[in-house]
Amino acid sequence: MDRVRYPAVAGSFYEGEASALRAKLESLLARARSEGSGGRKELPKALIVPHAGYLYSGPVAARAYSLLEKAQGRISRVVLLGPAHRVYFHGLALPGADVFRTPLGDVPVDPELVHRVESLPQVCERPEAHRQEHSLEVQLPFLQRVLGRFGLLPLVVGEASAREVLEVLEAVRGGPETLLVVSSDLSHYLSSREAKIVDRSTAGRILSLDPSVMPELACGAYPVNGLLLAARKWPLIPVLIEMKNSGETAGGSAGVEGGLEDRVVGYASFAFYETEKGEDSAEKESQEVDGELLLTLAREEVERVLGVRVSSPPRTTPSWLYSPGATFVTIKERGALRGCIGSLEARRPLLDDLRANARAAAFEDPRFPPVGVEELPALRFEVSLLSPTEELPVATEEELLARLRPGTDGLVLSRGSHRGTFLPQVWEDLPDPRDFVRHLKAKAGFPPVGWPEGVAVSRYTVKKWSEAP
């Protein structure tokens, strides 16, 4: 006999009678279609959708679910994660049920997906965490309407790290037949004006795949952060579909949850798409690098640290920003160097590397005091994107000079704790190769005269972009 998880919020969060529920879903999806998909032609791999009553969050959720209206027969499994609102625990909870029942019928729990995760230490069986939880339940009628029949892995997420959630997602990622859905609202009980500011910042974090969303900014922060970590790793491209608050969706005083004037809940829906990979994908992504975006991101990071920029406008972040990359960020003030810090090896996503080096160039270059807010109008940023380094096995300085390409090569000299590099831009000030090498030896801590024994030499090239004066 099947173990059934019965509906807990049918008749309150959404219509409790099947015909009325179908009519409500059709109305929400029809409105969503009229407003456009906001996404791509292909099906998303993952969604983030809100989970309040349909009066409030239904229009925002419907915008995401409208992307799945051609998915019947193509998506047969759904991994659904939502936050625990009523029971505190650590980890992710299985329901101990075989089916989830809604007014539209029963959704079977997929036993194979359960088997894949039930042995993980962070996964437990907690029927009590599911019994009254609405964050998963309100998604099911939408999924039944757009997908028809599908198998379900329902997980209520308690306090859990992004890596714990990632491990679960990795186990059930599957192929195009599997959809991941994370259920989360955004800010709670701020004024409409405050909510828009805070939610815009949270959307920026999600679009930047920044897995540091706090629970006070999104009640589903724990599963959201796990999905963002997965999106970085796989990678997935995020798209903001819709963002509103309860005052905007329900309108007037009816849109104020709890009946308190101008105290709203924020909602947003996001779709995550798999990147297309081919034999020449690395070359294509390299060609797509947007230098102007790199400059914007570098400046925004410094402004954020200085408190000038509370949040950045939500934007779709291109996939190449999550590929490993090595950057240098150079800051000049009225033509004079004001800071320059960078990485020689691609050890982290390009986006992370760029932001870290922007902060370091502005505030941690030991040659200069930290940048002040009053200097910002006079600062000009330059971003260099480095190629992989190439070893130069040279035995003498003369051999190095013969192989150098003035104006093209960045150069690295290293031995033990001594290391120094010059970007190719330094050729503008030191056009003579002997001067270039002599000054670099001094920077690395080697005597300027003679060739240091055992020194390792490598070179690289850069693509660079500079802000206009």
Residue appearing with tokens 């069986």: 125
| CB-count burial class (<10 Å; 0-12, 13-18, 19+) for 395 | exposed
Pinpoint the residues of the chain covered by CATH 3.40.830.10: 4-274
Backbone angles phi, psi at 196, to 5 degrees: -65, -40
The ranges of the chain with pLDDT < 70 are: 36-40, 251-261, 276-287, 309-317, 319
**CATH topology classification for 390-462:** Dna Ligase; domain 1 (3.30.1490)
Pinpoint the residues of the chain covered by CATH 3.30.700.20: 281-386
Q: Which residues of 96-106 are buried (b: 16+ CB within 10 A; e: fewer)?
A: bbebbbbbbee
Please give the pLDDT value at position 251: 63
**Residue 255 CB partners (closer than 8 Å, separation 6+):** 56, 245, 246, 247, 248, 249, 264
Distance CA 160, CA 225 (A): 10
Is the four-CA dihedral 335, 338, 343, 349 of positive or negative sign? negative
Please give the pLDDT value at position 309: 67
Pinpoint the residues of the chain covered by CATH 3.30.1490.150: 390-462
Distance CA 163, CA 119 (A): 16
Please give the pLDDT value at position 174: 94
- State how far Cα 412 lies from the chain centre: 33
CATH code assigned to 4-274: 3.40.830.10
Report DSSP state, residue 74.
T
- State how far Cα 268 lies from the chain centre: 15
Please give the pLDDT value at position 316: 61
Model pTM? 0.63
**Residue 101 CB partners (closer than 8 Å, separation 6+):** 4, 5, 6, 7, 107
Which option is the CATH number for 281-386: 3.30.700.20, 2.40.160.40, 3.30.420.40, 3.40.50.720?
A: 3.30.700.20
**Residue 414 CB partners (closer than 8 Å, separation 6+):** 420, 444, 455, 456, 458
